[in-house]
């Protein structure tokens, strides 16, 4: 290991220890279960914005797409960018309804809407899914460390290789971090890490482009094949990431942004619905260009022969670039922020599942227990779930699955049916308990069987792939996550609607009361909000049209097609910020009460719009200066 590697690794270790220290410091603000699970509903828009950014820009949603961009180009940008669009829509549709109900878990809504059988089933499914997905983020941390520092093969525990040993160490750090102070520690350290990730972007972008040969490389078809800049690609054996994969990402983005306990828990922790919604909207605006800052260096590195042989695979391109092209020390700080943000992501999943277990499964069985007891239960569940995530991480590594493949594998099994059953609870008044249960059983039954190869076996063993109609269904490869997601969600929706209508049960008083409770008086339309709506509609139409013409554009239009799409997306979200002023409830009066964390130096200094403005203006200036000096 070189001197530079040792210095950067030392910075990563010191930074992680420092984040644990911040978590322990924030533990003083934990006064009860609400503080641990939903941060005492004390978060303003800027804390929520930073937490969402650190969660989605770092971890698997940055390292994995950068690796795919290095391999095959820009299509995976649409994973982040379609998510930004969905986040903006969720902020003004689903989120206000959840907030009106005053729930701290989504399954509280499901219990009121469908009854305990559905809500308990969903809680169990989410707990399993989040435990497994925490393992993907542990893999991401291990990928960053092994890719950047080349951990020697001799560093291993009995029965594990070096990568699995690093993953095990990371699992221990994640669990300790999450035990420290729950969601409160996660969101405030996320805020700090989001600033570091922005700084890393403005340093890596110009240096990475220069390492690839300069700006001219991006426009040179001899260096970078113009087809790599095509985001919407026709399906085919050589398409790589084709339009079916992009549609899958859109479908899986619906449950992630609209109905995920993991993501919405930050919104539940907001001081008001306006703070929660605006935090989500600002995160959607600010993450678009930031994602591009990491994809472009990976694309440029693909034109440099020095980066063609990556011992850890394409997923390691970002940590390799940070180690090789960024100044010693700064590269270590950036890598530390990536690792810590990935840890925060894993901790968020563990915190969310601990909340679900405690609120939805344990409390009904053991009522009357005090907050200290429930804190203990949440922490025990966190440890167990972290170990489950570790097992999945080791399994995925031994199966040869990359970061994104590991995430898509489990996401395509659980998320389609979960989204349908929650969306039905909010918007389909005639949804019934039987319909909800049937939706879960059929939806997850189909996707689980597909992942296991059951539909291929059934079609061949029983000869069902020879029937005229069934041959179409059995002809699809249901082992592919794209097939499972694109079939599973409409199938689950059809089952929910069909079975609920066949039940023919009249609307109950509780359902009428629930929908009445979700109603609110909107702030109303103004001239600026109408302009915002018009801008958003035009931008949305442009984005849809872009999908049809992208692959047909001349080579001379690339890579400007990517920049143009980002511009249209940003304009769409900016319009939605104005639309939110009309669609959200009439602003609540400030009670004047402040949570203890709001009086801290950290909140008063970092959790402000002024801090974000300073960071982004400084970043823009540094971006130009570093490129000119490099």
pLDDT tens for 165-224 read: 999 998 988 887 777 655 666 677 777 778 888 888 888 888 888 888 888 888 988 888
278 in a domain, yes or no? yes
CA distance 102 to 518: 10
- In a 13 Å sphere around the CA of 309, the CA atoms on its Cβ side amount to 1
Check residue 527 and give its pLDDT. Answer: 93
Q: Count structural domains, the chain.
A: 1
Axis-axis angle for helices 330-356, 3-26 (nearest 10) = 40
CA distances to 73, 521, 533, 587 from 527, rounded to whole Å, are 41, 19, 10, 18
Specify which of 264-278, 422-436, 578-592 reaches the highest per-range mean pLDDT: 422-436
pLDDT confidence of 495, banded at 50, 70, 90? very high
**Is pLDDT larger for residue 615 or for residue 371?**
615
**Percentage of residues in the chain with pLDDT exceeding 90?**
26
CATH number, residue 147: 1.20.1730.10
- Those residues whose C-beta lies under 8 Å from the C-beta of residue 325, and which sit 6 or more positions away, are 204, 207, 208, 210, 211, 297, 331
**Is pLDDT larger for residue 217 or for residue 27?**
217
331 in a domain, yes or no? yes
Check residue 375 and give its pLDDT. Answer: 76
Residues 487 and 476: beta-carbon distance below 8 Å: yes
Q: Which is nearest to 278 in space by CA: 11, 525, 69, 573?
A: 573
pLDDT confidence of 40, banded at 50, 70, 90? low
CB atoms near residue 629 (< 10 Å): 8
Check residue 222 and give its pLDDT. Answer: 87
Check residue 5 and give its pLDDT. Answer: 82
CA distance 418 to 421: 5
pLDDT tens for 523-547 read: 889 999 999 999 999 999 999 898 8
pLDDT value at 372 more than 70: yes
Check residue 77 and give its pLDDT. Answer: 82
- Those residues whose C-beta lies under 8 Å from the C-beta of residue 68, and which sit 6 or more positions away, are 75, 76, 241, 314, 404
496 in a domain, yes or no? no
Which of 192-206, 466-480, 593-607 has the lowest average pLDDT? 593-607
CB atoms near residue 199 (< 10 Å): 18
476 in a domain, yes or no? no
Residues 417 and 441: beta-carbon distance below 8 Å: no
Phi-psi domain of 159 (left: phi exceeds 0; alpha: psi -120 through 50; beta: other):
left
pLDDT tens for 263-313 read: 777 777 778 888 889 989 998 888 888 888 888 888 888 888 888 777 777
Q: How does the average pLDDT of the chain come out, rounded? A: 84
Check residue 355 and give its pLDDT. Answer: 80
CA-only gyration radius of the chain, Å: 24
pLDDT value at 594 more than 70: no
Residues 132 and 389: beta-carbon distance below 8 Å: yes
Residues 317 and 70: beta-carbon distance below 8 Å: yes
Which residue, chain included where needed, has tokens 């001219």?
216
614 in a domain, yes or no? yes
Tokens of 89: 């829509």
Q: What domain range includes position 204? A: 3-406+587-629
**Sign (positive or negative) of CA dihedral 371, 375, 377, 378:** positive
**Percentage of residues in the chain with pLDDT exceeding 70?**
90
Check residue 237 and give its pLDDT. Answer: 47
CB-count exposure of residue 237 (10 Å: 0-12, 13-18, 19+): exposed
511 in a domain, yes or no? no
pLDDT value at 100 more than 80: yes
pLDDT tens for 345-354 read: 787 788 778 8
Q: Is 585 helix (H, G, I), strand (E, B) or coil?
A: strand
Check residue 124 and give its pLDDT. Answer: 92
Burial code of 20-41, b = ≥16 C-beta within 10 A, e = fewer?
bebbeebbebbeebbbbbbbbb
Which of 166-175, 229-238, 309-318, 383-392 has the lowest average pLDDT? 229-238
pLDDT value at 38 more than 60: no
501 in a domain, yes or no? no
44 φ, ψ (degrees, to nearest 5): -95, 180
**Is pLDDT larger for residue 229 or for residue 180?**
229
Check residue 27 and give its pLDDT. Answer: 66
CA distance 14 to 587: 43
494 in a domain, yes or no? no
pTM for the structure as a whole: 0.85
């Amino acid at each position: 290991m070189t001197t530079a590697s040792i210095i950067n690794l030392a910075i990563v270790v010191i930074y992680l220890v420092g984040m644990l220290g911040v978590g322990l410091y924030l533990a003083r603000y934990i006064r009860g279960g609400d503080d641990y699970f939903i941060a005492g509903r004390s978060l303003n828009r800027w804390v929520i914005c930073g937490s969402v950014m650190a969660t989605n820009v770092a971890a698997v949603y940055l390292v994995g797409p950068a690796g795919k961009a290095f391999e095959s180009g820009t299509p995976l940008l649409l994973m982040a960018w379609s998510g930004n669009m969905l986040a903006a829509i969720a902020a003004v549709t689903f989120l206000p309804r959840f907030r009106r109900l005053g729930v701290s878990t989504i399954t509280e809504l499901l219990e009121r809407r469908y009854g305990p059988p559905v809500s308990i089933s969903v809680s169990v499914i989410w707990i399993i899914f989040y435990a497994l997905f925490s393992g993907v983020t542990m893999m991401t941390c291990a990928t960053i460390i092994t890719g950047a520092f080349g951990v020697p093969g001799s560093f291993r525990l009995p029965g594990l290789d070096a990568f699995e040993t690093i993953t095990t160490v990371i699992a221990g750090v994640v669990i300790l971090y999450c035990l420290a102070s729950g969601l409160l520690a996660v969101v405030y350290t996320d805020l700090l890490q989001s600033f570091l990730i922005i700084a890393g972007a403005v340093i890596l972008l110009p240096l990475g482009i220069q390492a690839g040969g300069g700006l001219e490389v991006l426009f040179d078809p001899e260096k970078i094949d113009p087809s790599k800049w095509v985001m919407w690609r026709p399906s085919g054996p050589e398409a790589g990431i084709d339009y079916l994969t992009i549609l899958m990402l859109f479908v899986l983005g619906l449950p992630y942004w609209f109905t995920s306990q993991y993501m919405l828990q930050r919104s539940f922790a907001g001081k008001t619905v306006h703070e929660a919604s605006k935090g989500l909207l600002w995160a959607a605006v600010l993450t678009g260009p930031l994602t591009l800052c990491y994809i472009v260096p990976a694309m440029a590195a693909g034109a440099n022969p020095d980066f063609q042989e990556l011992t850890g695979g394409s997923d390691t391109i970002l940590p390799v670039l940070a180690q090789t092209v960024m100044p010693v020390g700064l590269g270590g700080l950036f890598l530390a922020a990536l690792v810590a943000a990935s840890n925060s992501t894993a901790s968020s999943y563990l915190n969310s599942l601990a909340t679900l277990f405690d609120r939805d499964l344990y409390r009904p069985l053991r009522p009357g227990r005090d907050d200290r007891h429930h804190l203990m239960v949440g922490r025990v569940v966190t440890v167990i779930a972290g170990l489950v995530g570790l097992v999945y991480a080791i399994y995925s590594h031994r199966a040869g699955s990359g970061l994104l493949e590991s995430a898509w594998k489990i996401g395509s099994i659980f998320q389609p049916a979960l989204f349908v059953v929650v969306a039905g609870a909010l918007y389909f008044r005639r949804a019934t308990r039987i319909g909800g249960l049937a939706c879960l059983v059929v939806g997850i039954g189909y996707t689980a069987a597909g992942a296991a190869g059951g539909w291929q076996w059934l079609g061949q063993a029983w000869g069902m792939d020879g029937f005229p109609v069934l041959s179409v269904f059995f002809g699809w490869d249901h082992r592919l996550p794209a097939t499972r997601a694109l079939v599973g969600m409409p199938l689950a929706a059809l089952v929910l609607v069909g079975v609920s209508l066949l039940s023919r049960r009249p609307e109950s008083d509780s359902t009428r009361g629930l929908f009445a409770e979700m109603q609110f008086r909107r702030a109303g339309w103004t001239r600026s909000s109408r302009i915002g709506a018009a801008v958003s509609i035009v931008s949305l139409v442009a984005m849809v049209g872009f999908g049809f013409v992208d692959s047909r554009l001349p080579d001379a239009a690339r890579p400007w097609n990517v920049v143009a799409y980002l511009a249209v997306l940003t304009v769409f979200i900016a319009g939605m910020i104005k639309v939110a002023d009309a669609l959200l409830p009439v602003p609540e009066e400030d009670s004047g009460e402040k949570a203890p964390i709001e009086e801290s130096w950290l909140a008063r200094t970092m959790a402000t719009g002024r801090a974000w403005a300073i960071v982004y203006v400084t970043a823009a200036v540094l971006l130009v200066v570093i490129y000119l000096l490099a």
